[in-house]
Chains A and B, each alone.
Chain A
Amino acid sequence: MKMNKKAQEEMVGFVVILVIVAVILLVLLSFLIKKPSGEGVENYEVENFIQATLQYTTNCEDYIGFLSLQDLIIACEGQEKCLDERDSCKVLNDTLTGVIEEAWDVGQQSAVKGYKFKIVVDDQEKTVLKEGNETLDYKGAFQDFARRGTDYVISLNIYY
Chain B
Amino acid sequence: MVGKKGQLKIQQMIFMLLAVTFLFILVGLIFLSVRLSSLKKTASSLGEENAMLLVSKLANSPEFSCGNSFGGSRISCIDFDKLMILKDHVEDYGDFWGVAKIEIRIVYPNEGNVICSKSTYPDCSIIKLLDKNVNTLPANSNFVSLCRKDTNGKIIFDKCELARILVSSEDKG
Contact = CB atoms under 8 A, between A and B. Distances in A.
Interface of A: 17, 21, 24-25, 28, 31-32, 36, 38-39, 42, 44-45, 48-49, 51-53, 55-57, 65-66, 68, 98-99, 102-103
Given A25-B27, A32-B34, A56-B108, A48 B76 contact: yes
B159 interface: yes
Interface of B: 16, 20, 23-24, 27, 31, 34, 45, 48-49, 52, 56, 59, 74-77, 107-110, 137-138, 140-145, 147, 155, 157-164
Given A39-B138, A44-B56, A57 B110 contact: no
B160 A65 contact: no
10 contacts: A17-B16, A36-B45, A51-B75, A52-B77, A53-B143, A57-B159, A98-B109, A102-B107, A102-B108, A103-B107
Given A21-B23, A38-B138, A52 B157 contact: no
Contacts of B34: 32
B70 to A, nearest CB: 8
Contacts of A99: 107-108, 162
B108 A44 contact: no
Given A44-B142, A103-B108, A56 B157 contact: no
Contact of A55 (B27, B110, B147): B147
A56 B162 contact: yes
Given A25-B27, A57-B161, A48 B74 contact: no
A155 B141 CA distance: 20
Nearest to A31: B31
B160 A48 contact: no
Q: Please classify the interface of chain A as helix (H, G, I), strand (E, B), loop, or mixed, using the class held by over half of its residues.
A: helix
B74 A55 contact: yes
B31 A65 contact: no
Given A17-B16, A52-B143, A56-B162, 7 more contacts: A24-B24, A49-B143, A51-B143, A52-B76, A52-B144, A53-B143, A57-B158
Contact of B160 (A49, A56, A102): A56
A55 B160 contact: yes
Contacts of B157: 57, 65-66
B155 to A, nearest CB: 6
A45 B107 CA distance: 14
A56 B147 CA distance: 9
B101 to A, nearest CB: 15
Nearest to B19: A17
B27 A56 contact: no
A68 B160 contact: yes
B142 A65 contact: no
A108 B74 CA distance: 35
